[in-house]
Copies of this chain bind each other. A is one copy, B any other.
């Protein structure tokens, strides 16, 4: 693997686990086992690494969404794929929170130029979920429903980071699935 890619991979992980600002060049250099100097041959500034990491994450996200889409005909099943991450990636989330949400909120506080790019990853999920709701015939509510699902799952991620508790996540995911079913089969009764 190319050094550049190794840097990117390590930075991606460290930014997630320690936060962007708290991660220094030394941290990344140590992880990749290169010298700090070598570093600058590949990336001129720390911001440049961040930009590349966000780009990487966006591409990975796009690939994942496409996979879910080609793997399931039923839009409901696709949305359930999204909800399942809370369980399959549960241990990371309880340690470090949601990678999308925590980065976006860190950059918001830093007033960082790349915050918009970070939010862009949220947008990928938002539009993808919206599309699924459209396919389910939710037409004009599709985007609102997408935002609702995003918010709900974000909240679960934040809370399980504060109170590590698998049972809580399981309960909420089941609740979300039940709500999804009810909402689609009978929009009136399920609210929103």
Chain A, residues 178-192, CB within 8 Å of chain B (1/0): the string is 110010000001011
Instruction: Output the nearest chain B residue to A19 by Cβ-Cβ distance.
Output: B109
B162 with A119: CB separation less than 8 A: yes
**CB-defined contacts of A182 to chain B, threshold 8 Å:** 191
B108 with A106: CB separation less than 8 A: no
CB distance from A20 to the nearest CB of B (A): 9
A147 with B159: CB separation less than 8 A: yes
Query: Chain A contact residues: over half helix, strand or loop, or mixed?
Result: helix
CB distance from A158 to the nearest CB of B (A): 4
B122 with A162: CB separation less than 8 A: yes
CB contact between A154 and one of B110, B159, B192 (< 8 Å): that residue: B159
CB distance from A95 to the nearest CB of B (A): 8
A102, A147, A158, A192, most chain B CB atoms within 10 A: A158
Whether a CB of chain B sits under 8 angstroms from the CB of A132 is: no
**CB-defined contacts of A22 to chain B, threshold 8 Å:** 21, 109-110
A109 with B18: CB separation less than 8 A: yes
Whether a CB of chain B sits under 8 angstroms from the CB of A172 is: yes
**CB-defined contacts of A153 to chain B, threshold 8 Å:** 155
CB contact between A155 and one of B18, B158, B163 (< 8 Å): that residue: B158
Query: For residues 155 through 177 of chain A, which have their beta carbon under 8 Å from a beta carbon of chain B?
Result: 155-156, 158-159, 161-163, 168, 171-172, 175
> Can you spell out 29 A-B residue pairs with CB atoms less than 8 angstroms apart?
A19-B21, A19-B106, A19-B110, A21-B22, A22-B110, A96-B109, A97-B105, A97-B108, A97-B109, A101-B162, A102-B105, A104-B158, A105-B158, A105-B161, A105-B162, A119-B163, A122-B159, A122-B163, A126-B163, A144-B168, A147-B159, A151-B152, A151-B156, A154-B158, A155-B156, A171-B192, A178-B191, A178-B192, A182-B191
